[in-house]
Structure 1
Amino acid sequence: MLSSPDSSPALQVLQQVFGYTAFRGPQAAIVEHVVTGGDALVLMPTGGGKSLCYQVPAIVRHRQGLGVAVVVSPLIALMHDQVGALEEAGVHAAYLNSTLSSEQAQQVERELRSGRLVLLYVAPERLLTPRMLAMLDSLHERQLLSLFAIDEAHCVSQWGHDFREEYLGLSALHERYPGVPRVALTATADDHTRRDIVERLQLEEAAAFVSSFDRPNIRYTIVEKDNPRAQLLRLIRDEHEGEAGVVYCQSRRKVEETAAWLEQQGVRALPYHAGLDADTRRRHQDRFLREDDLVMVATIAFGMGIDKPDVRFVAHLDLPKNIEAYYQETGRAGRDGEAADAWMAYGLADVVNQRRMIDESDAEEEFKRLQRAKLDALLALAEAHDCRRVRLLAYFGEASRPCDNCDNCLNPPRTWDATEAARKALSCIYRFGQHGGGFGPTRFGAGHLLDVLRGKRTDKVAQYGHEKLSTFGIGADLSEAQWRGVLRQLVALGHVQAEGEFNTLALTPSARAVLKGEVPIILREPREPTARVRGSRTARGERGERVPAAAATLDAEGQERFAKLKAWRAEVAREHGLPAYVIFHDATLAQMAAECPDSLQALGHISGVGAKKLEAYGREILRVLGG
């Protein structure tokens, strides 16, 4: 993308190096602030362009003779791909991490000491080693340290969803390297976490840039669990056949079993969790980044910093810990701005398990109290009758209107007054404690409670004499799904708690007000298991084949050109050992296919074609388009 000679230095870099005509949203203000030496706290959603907020200032300041920018990142995969993308764009960048041989690391260190590097990516634990600090001290003395970018800055907060202790040492940067600007960036932080970032990184004087957290291209759907594997398979087959996605599970075992089951159903899937050896994790992650139609089944060990733009869905088979984690994980879908799904199956066991993990942790009570409050906010989102997006954004302090792109907006749920049913359930639990059937006070789990309420004469009911309770059969008019919804809500609201190894139910002090009818309980009616919000949004070509959304509007000849460009890009990516999107994004190929430029000058006006890529690939692209 050619630039005007009277453009600002930052805009010239954006146009010449990255091939974009203009900054998006607050990017221009952030870049200008950092270029002039200011500290910044940047909160911007995944896919919002955070990396440009430090990459452009790093290039500008390097051209001004101010040396090397150091990017702190905990993610080896992100380092590799971002360095690859920068080198493709003609920017001298490198990383220092455990994947390098001794000789390779020494070469990077030589480039660092010389000041020739524009950006260096490094993990926080390596940054704080005496060897690394000595090199940075030398650069600082020679005024060749241009800025520090602290990516995934929420990791510094013990209140956040992804606390990493090694981030705490980054507070030393402010004192050790005065005058070197610092920019801390994250996609996810509530008010408490933001305050923690500012305090722990000593960013009290930094300018704060908070973008909208809205990702309008993502459709949020939360369903009641009813054979969740089958529900997941319906989602994939009906709406995302042959597309990339991420499925999150809580345990390593569930990850392995779910990935194997999807493979048996004909869905290409790989597992990823911390229990796999490093080589297997790397291979699986590399395949996911480079192949179009893989589903990664993973624990939260996977995903932060994954740049793959065409993830079309993120599914949760288990409830995350809080809204920050949910937002961070769902944000890995649709980074290219095209339509994507965030889908979650949620049930009573999820609520019980998350509450137990908080209660049984060794954390201090203040920390547990905050985690319970965060879980309550997520449960309110899951049980909501109104717009999911409005509630999600409100959590981050952002007002919005109903989105018309979540399950509740597209298919408004019916509700029913479950106050009387809740009183019956609480009364039955109370009577369990009074009447143990000759065994003394005994507590029981959800299954037995539902049997008693619905009047089912099981062996266990007979064993404890619970057919004699006044609550036996008083809920026969409601379905099991309705009763599970009642009980899930009572646990979610904290009126009932599950205790011990067998999840037996007990009343909490707040149950008294519900029993007295002082607290209304309004619930969603359970949806039919097969109900769908609407049909697939997968783009199809004239022959019915799946095509990237960016190319969906192309005519038949345009589709053919796009297919040729994709094949050429795949070959180049393999040669360079990089994911295809690092060479060019789908949107850039689609614009090439639509406009079919016939000269290097015309090709240079395509968004995403910088000067280095035009020089490296221009003639080849023209050959492909003309062939």
Structure 2
Amino acid sequence: MTSPLHLLQHVFGYHAFRGEQAAIVDHLIGGGDALVLMPTGGGKSLCYQIPALARPGCGVVVSPLIALMQDQVDQLKELGVAAAFLNSTLSLEESREIEQAFLGGQLKLLYVAPERAVTPRFQRLLQQANIALFAIDEAHCVSQWGHDFRPEYLALSVLADAYPGIPRIALTATADHATQAEIIDKLRLESASQFVASFDRPNLRYTIVEKKTSKDQLLTFLRREHEGDSGIVYCLSRKRVEATAEWLRSKEIRALPYHAGLDADVRARNQNIFLREEGVVMVATIAFGMGIDKPDVRFVAHLDLPKSIENYYQETGRAGRDGLPADAWLAYGLNDVIQLTNMIEASGAPEEQKDVERRKLEAMLGLCETTACRRQTLLGYFGEEARPCGNCDNCLNPPQLTDMTEAARKALSCVYRTGNRFGVGHLVDVLQGKLTDKVREFMHQQVSTFGIGKELDEASWRAVFRQLLARGALRVSPEGHGGLELAEAAKPILRGEVPLYRRARIEKFHYHDKNAEFSTAEDRALWQALRVCRKQLADEQNVPAYVIFGDATLKEMVRFKPADHYEMGRITGVGDRKLEKYGDAFLKVIAANAASL
């Protein structure tokens, strides 16, 4: 059997395993089952790809999205690995050819959608094939209370009984303790070894800002930080996706929309452009992204509040998969909280599930409102201790705290005096003493809180209400319409026993200087020349540029300037097949650059 390290170095082009990769690989090769929690970009795929190559037979990978399968199969084929996928994009004839190759032992990795994996036809195929292992990717999809529930995942428990001697590995980047327990239970992994890596993504910089004019705030962020970069902008609604993409295009930013309501051909074309071309911004609902393996996404921006920290973590994890610096930027406001709460209440889900979703939303709002290190708070949610990172907005630009305890008591009193049923806009009008038609209609000019808050502007009052929601002192009424009502945690604040502070900060930008890593103009010229070479080769092969080599590999070429095949083979990401296929082309570019000096 070829050793795992030899496969890592000669097939994948990496010098050494990272973290617990080696232990996971050895455990699987030895026939053990595993549950692996590892952050996006942490190298989850290698944990099952290398054992599949090392063990006799074919590794069967259950993957939930077509884009992920196609992307991974493209990359494996470039490495010289016999890989294929079975999904709805194939014709009947193409599917049968792949099935025959699978049965004939001609494949080392076969990717299949969960819907297909549990069909009687595929189960009969499995019974006839030589299987190296089963890998269940994005395993959090098994959680009925999770953020990406796929009912077909529940049926995958059949693998435990039907193939007791074949190792199974379940992998995910996002699972709190409850979801981990659900994965173990639903996939019958009680005896599996658990490998939990740090959830930290140190190359990501987290920035969370209060919404003012969110599109203008986004544009400023893109122009100052990410001119010409690839990135994703998430919006809550399809309408907002299309409006934002159109608006960005009007500002000469190459933006494309993506949501489930678009024609399938348009979605596929836009996704293909995003994967294959540089400098494209995809504006999308969360229908886009899970399984997108594009490593050079330099930012993920949210124009609306995510429903949970799990969602936020998974979506931001699509930035910087290559390990290079990237940004996670979020603009949020009070209306986001009310809209998401209304969606929870109107969902028709069981009350127990609604309660879980409410708590998850409260935790997400707490992350936005915290004055502590974002990374520390985020990792703490997943049960991981961390020190302040020095690389989030709260660390780089600490917020100034203003004591708002008295204002909070006024706000809570106003909610109570007006009957625990009105939205923030009306409550602010009452506090500021505005005689609007609605104030007159309900005679709220007669309540004791009318006009007691004239010292604060509307933005400040909204910040107070946001803090009270984050603290659990207020909740959005389950009756809908955005009304607020007092919660149990309001009592100590009303009694003056618990202080409340407002965060105030002047937004500052902390630039990623793209040229800082290149010490000379010659290095910058070489970097551009290598990218041109990569693009030409990618176009010839009809694959995304990163399938040839990622940015991190090209930057290592700039740094070390290999002069022959031996030196090129020592560059991270250059395995034997890619060295043979592309080595001469890139060596020629490096030599030409040196000759021009």
2:479 corresponds to 1:479:
no
The amino acid that maps onto 1:177 is Y
Say whether 1:247 aligns with 2:247: no
On the 8 A contact 1:352/1:497 being kept in 2, the answer is no
Distance of aligned partners of 1:76 and 1:432 in 2 relative to their CA distance in 1, 3 Å threshold? same
State whether structure 2 residue 359 is matched by structure 1 residue 373: yes
Does residue 148 of structure 2 align to residue 162 of structure 1? yes
Superposition pairs for residues 445-484 of structure 1, below 5 Å? Answer: 445-484=423-462
Candidates 133, 144, 161, aligned match of 2:123: 133
Deviates more, 1:378-387 or 1:452-461: 452-461
Give the secondary-structure state (helix, strand or coil) at the position aligned to 1:208. strand
Residue 536 of structure 1 corresponds to which residue in structure 2? 511
The answer on 1:46 being equivalent to 2:40 is yes
| Structure 1 counterpart of 2:424, one-letter code | A
Cross-structure match for 1:71 = 61
Instruction: State the one-letter code of the partner of 2:554.
Output: L
Partner of 1:522 in structure 2? 500
Q: 2:54 aligns with which of 42, 55, 60?
A: 60
Distance 2:89 2:513 in 1: 37
Aligned to 1:325: 311
2:482 maps to: 503
Q: What are the Cα deviations for residues 69-109 of structure 1, in whole angstroms up to 9, with x where unaligned?
A: 00110111111111111111111101111111222212111
Distance in 2, Cα, partners of 1:556 & 1:511: 60
**Whole-angstrom CA distance in 1 between matches of 2:557 and 2:337:** 49
Q: 1:426 to 1:597 in 2, by over 3 A?
A: closer
Partner of 1:611: 576
Q: Which residue of the other structure, out of 106, 110, 116, is the alignment partner of 1:120?
A: 110
Local SS of the residue matching 2:582:
helix
2:7 to 6, 9, 13: 13
Counterpart of 2:445, as a letter, is E
User: Which residue matches 1:583?
Assistant: 548
Partner in structure 2 of residue 564 of structure 1 = 529
Amino acid at match of 1:493: R
In 1, Cα distance between equivalents of 2:410 and 2:396: 33
Residues 8 and 91 of structure 1, relative CA distance in 2, 3 Å threshold? closer
Q: What residue in structure 2 maps to residue 213 of structure 1?
A: 199
Do the aligned partners of 2:214 and 2:331 also contact (CA within 8 Å) in 1?
yes
What's the counterpart of residue 261 of structure 2?
275
Q: Which of 228, 235, 250 is matched with 1:264 structurally? A: 250
Name the CA shift for 1:522/1:510 in 2 (closer, same or farther; >3 Å).
closer
TM, length-normalised to structure 1: 0.91
Q: Which amino acid aligns with 2:357?
A: Q
Q: Tell whether 2:85 aligns with 1:81.
A: no
1:430 aligns with 2:408: no
In the aligned structure 2, how far is the partner of 1:314 from the partner of 1:113?
A: 41
Q: Unmatched 5+ residue regions in structure 1?
A: 1-6, 434-441, 542-551
Deviates more, 1:591-600 or 1:163-172: 591-600
Q: Distance in 1 between matches of 2:348 and 2:444?
A: 38
For normalisation by structure 2, the TM-score amounts to 0.95
Q: Is the 1:415–1:522 contact (alpha carbons within 8 Å) kept by the matching residues of 2?
A: no
Residue 324 of structure 2 is aligned to residue 338 of structure 1: yes
**Is the CA contact (8 Å cut-off) linking 2:84 and 2:107 kept in structure 1?**
yes
Matched residue SS, 1:54: helix
Aligned residues: 591
Deviation at 1:496, TM superposition (A): 2.8
CA distance in 2, matches of 1:373, 1:535: 33
Residue 469 (structure 2) aligns with = 491
Query: Take 2:45 and 2:543, find their aligned partners in 1: how far apart are those partners?
Result: 18
Q: CA separation in 2, counterparts of 1:597 and 1:427?
A: 70
In structure 2, relative to structure 1, the CA distance for the partners of 1:57 and 1:230 (3 Å cut) is same
Taking the aligned partners of 1:340 and 1:228, their CA distance within structure 2 comes to 20
1:240 and 1:536 in contact (8 A); partners too: no
Give SS of 1:51's match: helix
Distance 1:466 1:558 in 2: 69
Amino acid of the residue matched to residue 505 of structure 1? L
Tell me the SS of whatever aligns to 2:59: strand
1:336-357 Cα offsets, whole Å, 9 max, x none, are 1111111111111111122222
Q: Secondary structure at the match of 1:385?
A: coil
Describe the superposition over 1:534-585 as per-residue Cα deviations: whole angstroms up to 9, x where unpaired: 33214138xxxxxxxxxx3253323323222211211111122211111111
In 1: Cα distance, 2:447 partner to 2:349 partner: 41
Question: What letter is aligned with 2:486?
Answer: L
Q: 1:97 aligns with which of 82, 87, 94?
A: 87
Report how far residue 525 of structure 1 moved.
3.1
Superposition deviation, residue 464 in structure 1 = 4.3
Cα shift at 1:457: 3.5
Q: Distance in 1 between matches of 2:354 and 2:423?
A: 25
1:535 & 1:389 partners in 2: Cα distance? 17
**Residue of structure 1 equivalent to 2:562:** 597
| Aligned amino acid, residue 570 of structure 1 | K
Amino acid at match of 2:90: L
TM-superposition CA deviations, 1:215-256 (whole Å, max 9, x none): 111111111111111111111111111111111111111111
Deviation, structure 1 residue 443 = 4.4
User: Residues 294-337 of structure 1: CA distance to partner in whole angstroms, max 9, x if unpaired?
Assistant: 11111110111111111111111111111111100011111111
Give the drift of 1:598.
Answer: 2.5
Q: Deviations over 1:244-298 (max 9, x none)?
A: 1111111111111111111112211111111112211111111111111111111
**2:138 corresponds to which of 131, 145, 152:** 152
What amino acid is the match of 2:7?
V
TM-aligned CA deviation for residue 432 of structure 1: 2.1
- Corresponding residue number in structure 1 for 2:282: 296
Q: Tell me, in whole angstroms, the C-alpha distance in 2 between the residues paired with 1:205 and 1:410.
A: 44
Secondary structure of 1:159's aligned partner: coil
CA distance in 2, matches of 1:539, 1:512: 51
Aligned 8 A contact 2:345 2:480 in 1 = no
Residue from 174, 187, 206 that aligns with 1:201:
187
1:306 is matched with: 292
**Quick one: structure 1 residues 94 and 430, their matched pair in 2 at CA, closer, same or farther if it must change by over 3 Å?**
same
SS in 1 for 2:331: strand
> Residues 143-162 of structure 1: CA distance to partner in whole angstroms, max 9, x if unpaired?
x1100111101001112211
Match in the other structure for 1:3: none
The answer to whether structure 1 residue 359 and structure 2 residue 345 are counterparts is yes
Paired position in structure 1 for 2:270: 284
SS of the residue aligned with 1:270? strand
Q: What is the deviation of 1:463?
A: 4.6
Secondary structure in 2 matching 1:311: coil
DSSP-derived class of the 1:472 partner: coil
Alignment partner of 1:225 is 2:211: yes
Q: Which runs of 5+ in 2 are unaligned?
A: 593-597
TM-superposed deviation, 1:197: 0.4
Letter in 1 for 2:537: V
Percent sequence identity is 59
**2:2, 2:54 within 8 Å by CA — same for their partners in 1?**
no
SS at match of 1:525: strand
What SS class does the counterpart of residue 418 from structure 2 fall into? helix
Contact kept, 8 Å, 1:448 with 1:461, in 2: the verdict is: yes
Q: Which amino acid aligns with 2:54?
A: V
1:437 counterpart residue number: none
Residue 4 of structure 1 is matched in structure 2 by: none
Equivalent of residue 372 in structure 2, options 378, 386, 389: 386
Structure 1 contact 238–535 (Cα < 8 Å) conserved: no
**Which residue in 2 is equivalent to 1:172?**
158
Checking the alignment, whether the CA contact within 8 Å between 2:324 and 2:552 is kept in structure 1 is: no
